[in-house]
Amino acid sequence: MTTVISVTNQKGGVGKTTSAVNLAYYLAKSGKKTLLIDFDPQGNASSGLGINKQQLETGTMSDVLLETKVLQEVILETKHKNLFIAPATPHLANTEVELAKASRRFTRLKNAIANTAGYDIVIIDNPPSLSLLTVNGLIACRYVLLPVQAEFYALEGLGQLLETMKLVRKNMNPTLDLVGVLPTMVDGRTTLSGQVHEEIKKHFPGKVFKTVIPRNIRLAEAPSHGVPIGVYDRFSKGARAYKTVAKELLERIAE
C-alpha cells in the first residue's frame, strides 16, 4: 500500500520544500521506495534534487494534470537509492488556469497516484496557496504534514487551512488526517522562538513532532548543490533533525 503525505502550508517560505526533499531522502534511505511529487510551479523540489528543468523531455506534472501523460511516464530516478521525483516547471501555473473549468479537476492528482503502483510513500510538495493545486494535493493524500516557521505570525492563516481540510474531509476525502506539525527554522537562542514553539504545541495538542528543525545555514545551502542535506552535510544539525523526524514520521504512519 502507498501512503501519500501532502506537505502543506499556504504561507510562503516556511520550509515546505526543504522538509519535503529532506524527509523524502531519509525515508528512501530507510528503505522505503519514495516518490517526491513537485507540485509547485516554482519547481524548487525539482531543482533541490538537481533536476535540470530545461531538459525535461519526459514530461512534468503539468502533463499529468492535463492527462497527456500518466504519472509513471514523468517520474525520474534520482542519484539516491529508492528516491524518485515527478518534476514541475513554471508551466504548472498555466496548467492550473487551464484546469479551472475542466471536468474532474479536483481529483486529477488523486487518480494519477492511484494508477501508479510500486511506491511505499509519496510526498507532495504543495505551493504556498490554497489553490486548485493544493486542493488536489489535499484530496490525493491520507496525511497532511504541516511545517510551521517558528516566528511571530506562525499561527496566523492556519485556521483557513484547517477549515479547507475540514471541507475536503467532509466532501471528498473522509480519512484525511494531520500527521504532524513540524516547527521549522527554530532558533534556540531566542526566547521568541521558544514561545512560538509553546504556542504551536498548545494549538495542536499531541500533533507536534518531538524533534524540531533548527535554523541551520547548511539546509539553505544544500539546494544550490542539487542535493539533500544528508548528502551535502550529513553531520549538520539540520541533517540530524530531518533524519530523526523521518523516523518519527514512519512511526506515526505505522500506527
Which residues of 165-226 form beta strands (DSSP E)?
177-184
Does 226 engage in binding with ligand ATP (CB under 6 A)?
A: no
Among the listed ranges 27-35, 38-46, 51-59, 83-91, the one in contact with ligand ATP (CB under 6 A) is 38-46
The answer to whether 133 touches 39, Cβ cutoff 8 Å, is yes
157 binds, among Mg ion, ligand ATP, none (CB under 5 to 8 A by kind): none
Q: Which of 5, 14, 35, 99 binds ligand ATP (CB under 6 A)?
A: 14
CA distance 116 to 94: 25
Owner of C-alpha cell 513554471 = 90
Residues 6+ apart with CB under 8 A from 143: 3, 4, 5, 6, 176, 177, 178, 179, 253
Q: Shortest gap between Cβ of 188 and ligand ATP (angstroms)?
A: 12
Which CB sits closer to ligand ATP, 58 or 224?
224
Residues 199 to 218: which contact ligand ATP by CB under 6 A? 213, 215-216
Which residues of the chain form beta strands (DSSP E)?
3-7, 34-38, 76-77, 83-86, 121-125, 143-149, 177-184
The site map against ligand ATP for 155-194 (x = CB under 6 A) is: -----------------------------xx---------
Site of interaction with ligand ATP (CB under 6 A): 12-18, 40, 42, 44, 128, 184-185, 213, 215-216, 219-220, 223, 238
